Amino acid sequence: MKILLLVSAFNGLTQRVWCHLRERGHDVGVELAPAFDGPDALTAAVEAIDPDLILAPFLKHRVPAEVWERWTTVVVHPGPVGDRGPSSLDHAILDGRERWGVTALSTVEEMDAGPVWATSTFAMPSPPVAKSALYNGLVADAAMACVDEVLRKVAAGEAPVPPETLDGGVPGTGELPLLRRAAFELDWSLAAADLARTIAAADGAPGAPATVAGARVCLFDAAVADDGADDADDDRAGRTAEPGTVVGRDGDAVAIATGRGTLWVGYAAALAERRGPKLPAAHVLDVRGVPYRPVPAALAESVYVRDGDVGYLTIRSYSGAMHTAQCHRLATAVEKALTEDTRVLVVRGTEHAFSNGIHLGVIEAAVDPAAEAWANIQAIDDLCEAIARADQLTVAAFTANAGAGGVMAGLCADVVLARDGVVLNPYYDMGIFGSELHTWAVAARLGDDGADELLAAKLPVSAAQAAASGLVDAVGPRDAASFDRWLADRASGLATPDGRKDPAAAAARRAPDRPLSYFRTIELSEMARDLFDDRRGFAARRRDFLRKAAPTATPERLRFARERALATPVGG
């Protein structure tokens, strides 16, 4: 089937759908709606493609009637049957919904009101998770189920049904209004749990506005102090301090007193005429003289747990970005974990994030962005070397999507595992050559030609595709709890003398024929020119990414194969 993905951005869900459809033999192309100058241009592009089906897994733009009247056009809406409006997930989290869903419906003149092709519901997490984490997790899983049902029905010649004829499994749905930033304003007299829910609903956009120490900020990435963990501190600080007062700090996370309990915030952005970049909270809020208090487990940057001969180091990075000091701390955590007398060290992410490499926001906010980028890339290289140089067997577990240097850091391990549904972007597309020992790690798995092809293609790779190519060694279940059990079984198997033979042999085959410093030196020599001479436009690309600038064209690599061929000059 020839399927056009019409989207507002090539986001994580769109990439997952794109990989999924291609794996099943469909001819798939992408068009970015913001790149078109009006509905006529979009209609002309669709007419030239003439797809069998248009899927819109992430679309904020209106589809012209000239398109949906001629071609079957299915929008994936992040709400159950009957839900309508652009802020579905925001309302679901704020309202404390116990159940939510996703609906695939035909495009009609009225938004989210067309006939239904498929729907899938799920239990909402409790306590609530950030909207972005919910979207990339449970919502994406439900969306994939809907996509499969749409494909089945289209292939079978079935038709969608009116929404009023369905029981969507979630009562009390209807049309809800757009929630703008002001709707998430924080009232510090409320309980910490209520404020955390509001921040979760506003995360990652538009953010929850608040006044802290007289400064206007947007807050993200929040958690309530662990139950019973700091009752004494609450008595001394949280309950006696004025609500809205900063009362503690642990690394980048900041504790704020509320009407009841203590709220921890991991990220913040200055709020002036426009919102500044999202930065670690301690970079934005005034923490001078603030005492140390232990951060709740939900926001801990790294957690090490030992289970017999296996050590598990879980790393946590908000949205996958890792700044200089954080990379140094994580490298230290790896080195410390390696001092244990375990046979295997597993370096894994959380259910919602692994890593996307260096922190563009911190770089952009620095007085000297080039110098900060240089420090950041060297710090993440230290993390990669700590993994690559380990004497004991190392396992990297891609528990969530990863990109750029985050993928390369994982590939530095001896054994690489991935959770089903994870999408990797193992390339650099920000005007930089990249480092993280990728000139060794990728070629060690795919060979020189395979590595060149992968890095040049600049395309997302599903966990299944990565396993088929040898980029990762095995894929575990999608369900987070099932994956954790599967990972524990694999790691314990590798820890036994018999089970360790093959992985150890594989690690030996991957051993570089030159010192790791050789690869790092070559990469950093290229990076120095990209960062300080800006020869590939890193500064502008970084700025556009952070400001979410609308694309001016769909990248050729995402178009249908025929379109790419037509766009390639003879002899090109």
- pLDDT for 507 beyond 80: no
Cis preceding-peptide flag for 204 (omega within 30 of 0): yes
Rounded CA-CA distance 286/254 in Å is 10
What pLDDT is attached to residue 292?
Answer: 96
- Residue 17, classified by CB atoms within 10 Å of its CB into exposed (0-12), middle (13-18) or buried (19+), is buried
Chain CA centroid to CA 301, Å:
16
Rounded CA-CA distance 31/25 in Å is 19
* Lowest-pLDDT choice from 204-208, 225-229, 456-460: 225-229
* Lowest-pLDDT choice from 102-111, 331-340, 393-402, 504-513: 504-513
Is it true that domain 2-165 has CATH number 3.40.50.170? yes
For residues 221 and 227, the model is more confident at 221
What pLDDT is attached to residue 230?
Answer: 45
Reported pTM: 0.93
Average pLDDT over residues 221-244: 68
Question: Which residue is associated with the tokens 């093959």?
Answer: 502
pLDDT tens digit string along 66-118? 999 999 999 999 999 999 999 999 999 999 999 999 999 999 888 878 999 99
Rounded CA-CA distance 249/356 in Å is 25
Q: Which CATH class is domain 181-296?
A: alpha beta
- pLDDT for 350 beyond 70: yes
* Lowest-pLDDT choice from 80-84, 297-301, 563-567: 563-567
What pLDDT is attached to residue 231?
Answer: 46
What pLDDT is attached to residue 96?
Answer: 96
First to last CA, the chain: 29
What pLDDT is attached to residue 169?
Answer: 83
DSSP character at residue 556: G
Tokens at 147, concatenated: 């996509």
Rounded CA-CA distance 237/335 in Å is 35
What pLDDT is attached to residue 238?
Answer: 45
What pLDDT is attached to residue 565?
Answer: 47
Domain ranges of the chain: 2-165, 181-296, 301-532
Strands 215-224 and 73-77: unpaired
What pLDDT is attached to residue 567?
Answer: 47
Contact (Cβ atoms closer than 8 angstroms) between residue 459 and residue 557: yes
- pLDDT for 233 beyond 70: no
pLDDT tens digit string along 121-178? 999 999 999 999 999 999 999 999 999 999 999 999 999 999 988 887 898 899 999 9
Rounded CA-CA distance 520/377 in Å is 11
- pLDDT for 235 beyond 50: no
What pLDDT is attached to residue 275?
Answer: 87
- pLDDT for 281 beyond 90: yes
pLDDT tens digit string along 487-503? 999 999 998 775 443 55
What pLDDT is attached to residue 272?
Answer: 84
Fold that domain 301-532 belongs to in CATH: 2-enoyl-CoA Hydratase; Chain A, domain 1 (3.90.226)
H or E element that contains 198:
helix 192-202
What pLDDT is attached to residue 197?
Answer: 98
* Lowest-pLDDT choice from 418-422, 470-474, 547-551: 547-551
What pLDDT is attached to residue 562?
Answer: 59
- What Rg, from alpha-carbon coordinates, does the chain have? 24
φ/ψ of 138, rounded to 5, equals -65, -40
Contact (Cβ atoms closer than 8 angstroms) between residue 347 and residue 413: yes
- pLDDT for 509 beyond 70: no
Using a pLDDT cut of 90, give the percent of the chain over it.
88
What pLDDT is attached to residue 563?
Answer: 58
What pLDDT is attached to residue 110?
Answer: 84
- Judge if 181-296 and 301-532 fold alike in CATH terms: no
What is the chain's mean pLDDT, rounded?
Answer: 93
